[in-house]
Amino acid sequence: MANNKFDFLKNKKIFFIIPIAIAVITIITALIIGVPVDIEFKGGTMLTYSYTGTIDVNAVKTKVESMNLGTVGVTTGSAFGSDLETVQVSFASDEGLTAEVQANVTNDLQAEFADNNLALVNSQDVKPSAGFSFFLKCFVAVMFSFVLLIIYIALRFKNIGGWSAGAFALVALANDVFMVFATFVFMRLSIDANFMAVILTILGYSINNTIVLYDRVRENRKLYGKKLTIDELVNTSINQSLSRSIKTTITTAIAVLSMCVVAMVCGVESIVSFVFPMFIGLLAGCYSSIFIAGPAWTVWKNAHPDKKKA
């Protein structure tokens, strides 16, 4: 009959406690030490300097952070319409920097990097309204996708209780989102556009593993009928889809981790803040599809068995 290599439901309470414990620790940490927020969401001041030669971005960031002016971001690029190489220093703050403080920052940087001939080419105050609008649109997109997912799963898997299956698929997705948030909190990465990009990417990737599991549950229900209890049915389905889920996740995770290593070696922080949280999100998505979506659904089904028609 069913071939169960591992009993995933035997220790389901432990599997549930692990993400809950991480979530609690993350919330406490965020409340105590705060969450870094990028300038596009919080507002602040952006100073752009031209320079010559080669400049060490990490050295610039270390110097600016020593001034204790809030969350700092440093990026390099080229000035639009010219051959000037630029380094942009952003300060996330509610009110921005005064002209006097900006002058002090410029003087300190010019003294520290005298060989690079730093020259201020642009000073700009950023309001958080644009970032908030972007965040709101992403939030609406996520909520809308959640509604569509529930409807899709409810219709596709109606013979196994589609509405409840869809609800617990969203519980698993919520865990993935929180694990990505935890990565930003503990790694002290600023909440920015990368955060929303990772969230949207992980949601699409993770739900695929969960749907594969539900598909196996549906097929096994047709195959075994009432010979298997709901626990045996889900456990059998998880074992059958386990190899596919793990192999797919490992393949993608290795590619993402390779990008992360290269970005860290090259000092490209903007890429690191995207690919490392995505790496954690991939692992969380695999975990939630195997250890949360199915087992949590069985708890509901056992507490609310299908009513037989008269």
Q: Is residue 163 part of a domain?
A: yes
Q: Give the closest residue to 168 by CA, choosing from 288, 70, 281.
A: 288
Query: Can you read off the two tokens belonging to residue 62?
Result: 């270390």
Residue 5 covered by a domain:
no
Sign of CA dihedral 245, 246, 249, 251: negative
Whether 164 and 31 share a structural domain: yes
Q: What integer pLDDT is reported at residue 272 of this predicted model?
A: 85
- Residue type at 41? F
Both 115 and 256 in one domain: the answer is no
Spatial distance between the Cα atoms of 165 and 153, rounded to a whole number of angstroms = 7
Rounded Cα distance, 279 and 233, in Å: 31
Do the beta carbons of residue 88 and residue 76 sit within 8 Å?
A: yes
| Reported pTM | 0.79
Sign of CA dihedral 257, 263, 267, 271: negative
The Cα–Cα gap between 245 and 212 comes to 9
Domain C-terminal end among 79, 96, 126: 126
Q: What is the CATH number of the domain that holds 102?
A: 3.30.70.2040
Residues 135 and 205 in one domain: yes
Q: Is residue 7 part of a domain?
A: no
pLDDT for 16 equals 93
pLDDT at 4: 59
Backbone phi and psi for residue 192, each to the nearest 5 degrees, phi listed first = -145, -160
Q: Can you give the pLDDT at residue 310? A: 34
Domain that residue 89 falls in: 44-126
The answer on 23 and 74 residing in a single domain is no
Does 274 map to a domain? yes
Overall number of domains in the chain: 2
Question: Can you give the CATH number for the domain in which 222 is found?
Answer: 1.20.1640.10
pLDDT at 24: 94
Residues 151 and 187 in one domain: yes
Angle among Cα 156, 177, 73 to the nearest 5 degrees reads: 145
Q: Last residue of some domain: 72, 101, 126?
A: 126
Q: Which residues pair with 45 in a beta bridge?
A: 91, 125
Residue 31: Cβ-neighbour burial (10 angstroms; 0-12, 13-18, 19+): exposed
Q: Are 157 and 84 part of one and the same domain?
A: no
In a domain, 308, yes or no: no
Tokens of 156: 């596709």
Q: Does some domain include residue 64?
A: yes
CB 282 within 8 A of CB 153: no
Given this model, what pLDDT does residue 22 score? Answer: 94
Chosen domain end from 126, 157, 181: 126
Residue 92 DSSP SS3:
strand
CA 211/CA 161 separation, integer angstroms: 14
Are 193 and 252 found together in one domain?
yes
Strand extents, DSSP E, the chain = 44-51, 71-78, 85-92, 119-126
Residues 50 and 21 in one domain: no
Q: What is the pLDDT of residue 1?
A: 45
Give the pairing of strands 71-78 and 85-92.
Answer: antiparallel
Residue 1 resides in a domain: no
Same structural domain, 174 and 120: no
User: pLDDT tens track of the chain, all 310 residues?
Assistant: 455 578 888 888 999 999 999 999 999 999 998 888 777 777 788 888 888 888 888 888 888 888 887 778 787 776 655 667 888 888 877 677 788 888 888 888 888 888 888 888 888 877 766 667 777 877 788 788 888 888 888 888 887 777 888 888 889 999 999 999 999 999 888 888 788 888 888 888 888 888 889 899 889 888 887 888 888 889 999 999 888 888 988 999 999 999 888 888 876 777 888 899 999 999 999 999 999 998 999 988 888 776 554 3
Residue type, 19: P
Has residue 226 been placed in a domain? yes
Dihedral of the alpha carbons of 125, 104, 71, 132, in degrees to the nearest 10 = -10
Q: In degrees, to the nearest 5, what angle opens at C-alpha 127 toward C-alphas 121 and 128?
A: 130
Same domain, yes or no, for 20 and 150?
Answer: yes
Those residues with Cβ within 8 angstroms of residue 223's Cβ, 6 or more apart along the chain or in another chain: none
Say if residue 172 is in the same domain as residue 91: no
Q: Per DSSP, what are the bridge partners of residue 119?
A: 50
**In terms of domains, do 109 and 86 share one?**
yes
